[in-house]
Amino acid sequence: MVKAKQHSPLTPTRSPAVQGSPQSSVDQGVIELDDHMTMSEAAALLMEDEEAVVGVLTRAGVALIRQGDHSFVSRGDLVAYHARDIATRRGHLRELTRLSIEAGLDEADYSSLLPDPD
């Protein structure tokens, strides 16, 4: 029995729709598909609904590359966006925690149980 190889969203893969096509042409020139992710792969990395990923990335200013009916995003741009998103969320959570402590809404100190990951 042969097991299917599983890929992490951060490892180079090719979408089944473009298998065997080492390069694709776009207005800016030729792109390497190994440097780009499909919207399905981007959705998996961002833990978002596949239909929502295009809107999320567009609002964030991340460039999408369209080839026919398929859209791709640069792996580096997606990873950079993901890191910024995590940092922003973490900052908002820290601010909410600070405000709740200042307001006396939570007298328990969870800092020893949930250390700051940074």
4: in domain: no
Contact 56, 88 (CB under 8 A): no
Radius of gyration of the chain (CA): 19
76: in domain: yes
112: in domain: no
Question: What is the crossing angle of helices 50-59 and 39-46, to 10°?
Answer: 80
61: in domain: yes
Q: Which domain CATH number covers 70?
A: 1.10.1660
pLDDT of the residue at 78 = 95
- Residue 37, domain extent: 28-102
109: in domain: no
pLDDT tens track for 44-84 = 999 999 889 999 999 999 999 988 888 999 999 999 999 99
50: in domain: yes
95: in domain: yes
71: in domain: yes
Q: How confident is the model at residue 113 (pLDDT cuts 50, 70, 90)?
A: low
The Cα 17–Cα 101 span in angstroms is 52
Q: How many domains does the chain have?
A: 1
- Find, among 50, 42, 115, the residue nearest to 85 by Cα: 42
DSSP H helices in 27-118: 39-46, 50-59, 75-102
Contact 96, 110 (CB under 8 A): no
Q: How confident is the model at residue 32 (pLDDT cuts 50, 70, 90)?
A: low
SS percent in the chain: helix, strand, coil, step 5 = 45, 15, 40
